[in-house]
Structure 1
């Protein structure tokens, strides 16, 4: 799909440049917005907008409903051909697939908006890292895809993803959930391990990040691709859901070609 060996290698260290998360002290994060356009068969970088998830999105946490401002993803990630290949892969999987509709999203639109989060979760002597502090949740989108970039000093029982029936109670800690409502579990362990969830058909949770050597820091690096239709009027994010291109950090990738055609 056009990924080069050098860019695959660079993807393993791109999280070293992350900035602090606005609401979680054990996490470092950058985000960027990207638009899938099936008419032109391209994905392009969209302009910066604030980010919000609410209880209405099945997201229960201390910062639910809070407008969050993240540092932006830079060219070291968005121009990486391996990252661009992941965009192509995700589009190939979800485009044309019928899913349960979320309220207040515009399913008459042929456009898709993807918020990409590059996240490093950290456990050290002072902080316990939680890949999903919110417990059982959904991401307020149509398709959630997570891709593992790597970890340091992580135990074998850390950061297990659990898939839950939609009847599970939002905000329930991963270890307090109803076993009868757990559909599956999986663990990202190897570079580029990827999971794709239909976000309004299954909820999910992730277990705690533990340090194998408690005298040293443990880290886990991940990409999360949160993709949905544009919001409709009345949605809490309606005022910041622009489809305009990013002027300072432009990027366009052709979705037609599965070869090494250069992107801009």
Structure 2
């Protein structure tokens, strides 16, 4: 990933800065064991640019295969700041994801506008923390989908985390939403991955595989266990009737502007999955 991202404009200095960016995270609106920030970004191949979008509330629904106590709830996160959005590694990760997903046939979600050229990406910077009496769970919701076309997860760092922590399991779409990672049908597990090194990255077609993640456990019970991640939820813009339609603006962010170039993609080079 370092070589790929460097070829897309990432600088040596920004790799080091990215490792520390999660230290600036704030509390999460609904999960006590998590710290978070988010931001919305438009990837527009017509002008070969990515740009920051204005803040909007965030919502996921049971209909989108996300079953948790805060499903259907509008959540407002603290915003991603310039220390992350202006980092050239972050911008290269967005360009990398665009290059992988654009033009690839996937299982389509209802009420998304696949005639539109642009992609809407909701970026999360998340820190999961386990302390005495509070278990940190990267996916408290159990088996789920994220209501998007593609979910990409990138590891930044961990501290005091056991080698068996935070395993990601991919499940057949017939698996029951909300099942705990260890309660699932082994016959429906289609893959397993674990983020361990800086920039380890997993990309999932979100409407073709559900996923779950095991908890974060400490090596030393007297100290917190910490896991820092970047999560990229990317989908086509919504249409009327979608739960997020009212919160899907493509207006640029005025207070936190950001724009970067993305490589050209030619139609003849598109890959059919």
Q: TM-score range by the shorter chain?
A: over 0.9
Displacement of 1:110 after TM fit? Answer: 1.0
Partner of 1:74: 81
Is contact 2:85–2:91 with CA below 8 Å preserved after alignment? Answer: yes
Displacement of 1:84 after TM fit? Answer: 0.7
- Cα distance in 2 between the residues matched to 1:195 and 1:26: 23
Partner of 1:232: 239
**Matching residue within 13, 27, 35 for 2:20:** 13
Partner of 1:89: 96
1:61 has 2:95 as partner: no
1:45 has 2:45 as partner: no
- Superposed counterparts of 1:186-201, under 5 Å: 186-201=193-208
- Cα distance in 1 between the residues matched to 2:203 and 2:255: 30
- Superposed counterparts of 1:1-264, under 5 Å: 1-256=8-263
Normalising to structure 1: TM-score of the pair?
0.96
Displacement of 1:108 after TM fit? Answer: 1.3
- Cα distance in 1 between the residues matched to 2:232 and 2:101: 12
Displacement of 1:111 after TM fit? Answer: 1.3
**Residues 55-76 of structure 1: CA deviation (Å, up to 9, x unaligned):** 0110000000000000000000
Displacement of 1:116 after TM fit? Answer: 0.1
- Cα distance in 2 between the residues matched to 1:64 and 1:177: 21
**Residues 75-126 of structure 1: CA deviation (Å, up to 9, x unaligned):** 0000001101101110110000010110111111111100000000000113
- Cα distance in 1 between the residues matched to 2:232 and 2:28: 17
Displacement of 1:256 after TM fit? Answer: 2.2
Displacement of 1:6 after TM fit? Answer: 1.0
Is contact 2:48–2:261 with CA below 8 Å preserved after alignment? Answer: yes
- 4+ runs of 1 displaced by more than 3 Å? none
Is contact 2:130–2:218 with CA below 8 Å preserved after alignment? Answer: yes
**Residues 195-225 of structure 1: CA deviation (Å, up to 9, x unaligned):** 0000000000000100010010000000000
Residue segments in structure 1 that go unaligned for 5+ positions in a row: 258-264
Is contact 2:99–2:263 with CA below 8 Å preserved after alignment? Answer: no
Residue segments in structure 2 that go unaligned for 5+ positions in a row: 1-7, 265-273
Superposition RMSD in Å: 0.7
